[in-house]
Amino acid sequence: MASYRLYGLDGVSKVASGERIEADDDREAIEAARKRFDGGHCEIWQGPRLVARLKRDGAS
């Protein structure tokens, strides 16, 4: 399992919240972010690497 950080973003793309999760891979981390932020704007990071940026419409 790998450590990821999920950052919820506000309306001007500033970090509004953050939490650490464990996931087997990037795909699992992205799915966890979609569930936790319920379609909200967020970023998924693994260390210094941006894994994905999810927008409110669900696009990455």
Which sequence spans correspond to the domains of the chain? 2-54
What pLDDT, in 10s, does the model give residues 2-58? 999 999 999 888 999 999 999 999 999 999 999 998 878 999 999 999 999 998 764
> Which pairs from 11-18 meet CB under 8 Å and 24+ separation?
13/41
Q: What tokens does 43 get? A: 């970023």
**CA–CA separation, 36 and 6 (whole Å):** 9
Residue 58's pLDDT is: 46
pLDDT value at residue 50: 98
Residue 24 makes CB contacts below 8 A (sequence gap 6+) with 1, 2
Sign of CA dihedral 12, 14, 20, 23: positive
